[in-house]
Each structure stands twice: as structure tokens, then as C-alpha cells.
Amino acid sequence: MYDTREKAARDHQWLINGALNEGRNEGRNEGRNEGIEKGAIIGTIRICQSVLGLAELSVEELSTKSLEDLRTLSSQLQSVLRGRMA
């Protein structure tokens, strides 16, 4: 009976550890993907600023902004650029 309870406790702990590791891996992947997306958007922003002759914000300054703020800024700059090309 003791062995059965001990095995059940170990199995339970194994399941908990597996779930925690899976959650950590998912979090890492989400963070990595968000970082890649932020980097791409920051690059787009800096290119648009350069082409438009605007003062370029530093990578450090842009990296402190939220992903949504970066998307908005990128869209605004691209709209201005398209307007100048039309």
C-alpha cells in the first residue's frame, strides 16, 4: 500500500513538473516570437523615418514601446510614405 501511494505521489509530481515545463516553453516561444516581430517593426520604422528625412528614434527608445504602439507608428509612417509616393 505504501508503494502504491508513493508511486501515485511521484506520478502526480511528474505531471505537475511536465505542465510547468510546457508552460515555460510556451512562454519562451511567445516571447521569442514577439521579440522577432518587434525587431522587424523597429526596422521598418527606422527605414521609413530615414526615407522620409525624419529624426530616427534609437533602437533602445523604440524597444521600450509596446508592440501595439510600434504597429501604430509603423502604419502611420508607411501611410505618410505612400502619400508622398502617390
The answer to whether 23 and 31 are in contact (CB under 8 A) is no
Q: What is the domain range of residue 23?
A: 2-85
SS3 readout for the chain:
CHHHHHHHHHHHHHHHHHHHHHHHHHHHHHHHHHHHHHHHHHHHHHHHHHHHCCCCCCHHHHHCCCHHHHHHHHHHHHHHHHHHHC
Dist. CA 77–CA 24, nearest whole Å: 36
pLDDT value of residue 27:
86
pLDDT averaged over 10-residue windows placed end to end, the chain, 86 residues: 82 82 87 94 96 95 96 97 88
pLDDT value of residue 12:
82
pLDDT value of residue 32:
92
pLDDT value of residue 47:
96
Number of separate domains in the chain: 1
